[in-house]
């Protein structure tokens, strides 16, 4: 993903980010009253030392079980870009150059993780130096080196590893076509990427062709996770990433279960954010929304020390029982997140803008919410989330609460339009697909609904030649600001044969140029205004999506889980402070 960065003094950066909520239910009633999203500041911390502050009441021991509905699409850090796997990876298994420090108290800092600080800037923001801490070790006791960090970034260039964030690759190459001259370390390629130098085992230096002030934030992405060359199994690294964090993989039965145990070589004195309170984590990949919620509602046995992830929300069929139970109601993890759910049109296939406008008018957002869970979001009409700095509200295609089939028919000229709708094959998304097919009929849309395996969903949709017309996708900012929301989703210069984040395959010259121009601004207030304006312009001239819902996390945890909170950067249950009561 190409993203030339804004220029401003990193020493005084303070960026707005969603305040992602609370650790338990705050009194929402069964009519679905919503907590409003607020903002908080993310600042660069001066102190990156470990250990992490102790969590009040925490103790060592016990097993935490995590219920999910499918296996991770990718656990390889350089391909990891979906929230459940990213949370698991960065909180438990591997570390990055920097990371976010949060404790559920509304304060958020960027700190050095593997690095001693958030980076040393020079050369007008083009050069960034990171020095690794002493005592960093992998799960086998071998040292983590700067060469390993460079090698991890190098392998992210490989055409064989197409998923994952693309910031560092594009910045280092000075182009979104980062594979033009360098294709990673495989097949005889260099083990250190272009514009990176590693003068010794503790030092890595980035010399970007252009200034990039957001490097400390990008360095917290999984791209900077170290990978020792001798452990690299290329496309098979998903099956057994090598641990640099507090836990390592004991067993991993794909599609069934993963068990994590302590990495005895992880040194808490080097880590400013993580703990290793539980003896073990067991991740079950086979639970439905209803199964997981019923288990947690009953709160017996292993469920007492279990929790659900973002992909498993309390379903509408179980929610009334949960809020009617005072004990269960206290164990809801709830709060607004930075995600917007939207129906993406494949512009290679849905070429008539009136079809896309008609879909927006016809969309019954209130009805969709009843299927999705009225407590799990609010109707959306914009690209940017209300949690995003500079967000401005508008509604260009106002079909009322339940959509306007007549307006849609008018735009379609009375013709019926067939669309192939791909949906993630989960309990909730099956219901959404059935609802959409039924509710869109009156407006003139005939939907052919087709399931895609959950652990392959974004891989399949990320293929430029995918065979679908429309699909539901959730996107949240990688770090504060419109620059990690609009360009990744809509910059046409970022389109590649596979591994795309621009799932609408939008390539609009005017919008592409405006994205580049905004990203080069030094005035953040002006940038916020222009992101908001571009949001509306894209939805006026191009209409690549039909915004559906602003997300709200609504999941459950067992009565013996302690230290849980809703993580602002991930919009998911934070794992780094968990303990068993």
Q: pTM of the entire structure?
A: 0.83
| Residue pair 443/405 in contact by the 8 Å Cβ criterion | yes
Cβ neighbourhood burial of 396 (10 Å; 0-12, 13-18, 19+): middle
Residues of the chain with CATH 3.40.190.10: 47-55+72-247+264-273+563-580
Q: Classify strands 38-44 and 108-112 as parallel, antiparallel or unpaired.
A: parallel
Write the Ramachandran bin of 443: left for phi over 0, alpha for psi from -120 to 50, otherwise beta: alpha
Residues paired with 363 in a beta bridge:
none
pLDDT at 282: 98
> What is the pLDDT at residue 103?
61
516: exposed, middle or buried (Cβ count in 10 Å: 0-12, 13-18, 19+): middle
User: What's phi and psi for 322, nearest 5 deg?
Assistant: -65, -50
**54 burial level (CB within 10 Å; 0-12, 13-18, 19+):** exposed
Asked whether the beta carbons of 151 and 185 are under 8 A apart, the reply is yes
| C-beta separation of 481 from 531 below 8 A | yes
Tokens of 181: 């001259």
Q: Which two tokens stand for residue 553?
A: 């996390």
Euclidean distance between CA atoms 377 and 361, whole angstroms: 19
Between strands 561-562 and 127-131, the pairing is unpaired
Residue from 498, 435, 445 nearest 469 by CA: 445
Residue 37: its pLDDT value, please? 54
Please, where in the chain does CATH 3.10.105.10 lie? 335-552
Token pair recorded at residue 3: 């993203």
Question: Is 430:290 a contact under the CB 8 Å cutoff?
Answer: no
Write down the residue that tokens 């209300």 correspond to: 386
Residue 106: per-residue pLDDT: 61
What are the backbone angles phi and psi of residue 5, rounded to the nearest 5°? -95, 155
Helix (H, G, I), strand (E, B) or coil at 291: helix
* pLDDT the model gives residue 21: 34
Task: Please enumerate in sequence order all residues whose Cβ is within 8 A of that of 236, keeping only pairs 6 or more positions apart, or say none.
Answer: none
Domain 335-552, what fold?
Dipeptide-binding Protein; domain 3 (3.10.105)
Strand bridging mode 417-424 / 445-452? parallel
Superfamily (CATH H level) for 47-55+72-247+264-273+563-580: Periplasmic binding protein-like II (3.40.190.10)
By CB atoms closer than 10 A (0-12, 13-18, 19+), residue 301 is exposed
CA distance linking residue 477 with residue 440, whole number of Å: 30
User: Over the chain (581 residues), what is each successive 10-residue block's mean pLDDT?
Assistant: 28 38 35 46 85 96 95 93 90 97 76 97 95 98 98 96 91 90 93 97 96 91 96 96 97 96 98 98 93 95 92 85 94 89 98 98 95 86 89 95 96 96 92 96 97 91 96 86 89 90 96 90 84 97 97 92 88 92 97
Q: How far is CA 255 from CA 132, 236, 304, in A?
A: 36, 15, 23
- Report the relative pairing of strands 108-112 and 127-131 from DSSP bridges: unpaired
Whether the CB-CB separation of 309 and 67 falls below 8 Å is answered with yes
Helix (H, G, I), strand (E, B) or coil at 235: helix
């Amino acid at each position: 993903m190409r993203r030339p960065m804004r220029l401003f003094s990193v020493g005084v950066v303070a960026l707005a980010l969603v305040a992602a909520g609370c650790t338990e239910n705050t009194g929402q009633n069964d009519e679905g009253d919503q907590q409003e999203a607020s903002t908080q500041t993310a600042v660069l911390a001066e102190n990156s030392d470990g250990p992490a502050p102790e969590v009040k009441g925490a103790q060592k021991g016990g097993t935490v079980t995590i219920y999910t509905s499918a296996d991770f699409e990718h656990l390889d850090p350089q391909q990891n870009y979906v929230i459940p796997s990213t949370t698991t990876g960065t909180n438990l298994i591997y570390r990055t150059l920097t990371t976010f420090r949060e404790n559920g108290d509304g304060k958020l800092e960027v700190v050095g993780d593997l690095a001693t600080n958030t980076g040393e800037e020079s050369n007008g923001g083009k050069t960034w130096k990171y020095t690794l801490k002493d005592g960093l070790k992998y799960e086998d006791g071998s040292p983590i080196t700067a060469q390993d960090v460079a090698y991890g970034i190098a392998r992210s260039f490989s055409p064989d590893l197409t998923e994952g964030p693309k910031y560092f690759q594009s910045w280092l190459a000075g182009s979104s076509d980062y594979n033009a001259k360098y294709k990673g370390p495989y097949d005889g390629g260099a083990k250190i990427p272009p514009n990176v130098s590693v003068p010794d085992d503790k030092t890595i230096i980035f010399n970007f062709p252009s200034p990039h002030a957001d490097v400390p934030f990008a360095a917290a992405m999984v791209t900077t996770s170290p990978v020792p060359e001798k452990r690299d199994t290329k496309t098979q690294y998903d099956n057994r990433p090598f641990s640099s964090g507090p836990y390592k993989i004991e067993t991993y039965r794909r599609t069934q279960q993963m068990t994590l145990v302590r990495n005895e070589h992880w040194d808490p004195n080097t880590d400013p954010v993580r703990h290793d309170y539980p003896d073990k984590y067991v991740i079950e990949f086979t639970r439905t929304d209803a199964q997981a919620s019923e288990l947690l509602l009953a709160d017996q046995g292993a469920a007492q020390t279990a929790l659900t992830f973002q992909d498993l929300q309390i379903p509408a069929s179980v929610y009334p029982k949960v809020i009617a139970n005072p004990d269960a109601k206290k164990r809801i993890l709830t709060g607004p997140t930075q995600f917007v759910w939207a129906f993406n049109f494949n512009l290679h296939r849905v070429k008539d803008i009136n079809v896309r406008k008609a879909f927006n008018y016809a969309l019954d957002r209130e009805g969709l919410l009843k299927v999705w869970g009225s407590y799990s979001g609010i109707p959306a009409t914009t690209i940017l989330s209300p949690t995003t700095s500079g967000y401005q509200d508008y509604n260009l295609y106002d079909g009322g609460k339940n959509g306007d089939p007549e307006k849609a028919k008018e735009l379609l000229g009375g013709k019926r339009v067939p669309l192939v709708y791909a949906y993630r094959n989960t309990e909730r998304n099956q219901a959404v697909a059935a609802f959409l097919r039924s509710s869109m009929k009156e407006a003139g849309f005939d939907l052919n609904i087709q399931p895609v395996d959950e652990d392959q969903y974004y891989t399949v949709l990320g293929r430029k030649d995918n065979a679908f017309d429309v699909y539901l996708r959730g996107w949240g900012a990688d770090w504060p600001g419109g620059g990690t929301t609009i360009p990744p989703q809509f910059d046409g210069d970022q389109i590649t044969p596979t591994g795309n984040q621009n799932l609408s395959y939008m390539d609009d010259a005017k919008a592409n140029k405006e994205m580049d121009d905004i990203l080069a601004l030094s005035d953040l207030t002006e940038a916020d205004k222009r992101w908001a304006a571009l949001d509306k312009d894209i939805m006026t001239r191009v209409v690549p999506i039909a915004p559906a819902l602003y997300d709200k996390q609504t999941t459950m945890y067992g009565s013996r889980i302690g230290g849980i909170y809703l993580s602002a950067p991930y919009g998911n249950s934070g794992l780094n402070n968990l303990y068993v009561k």
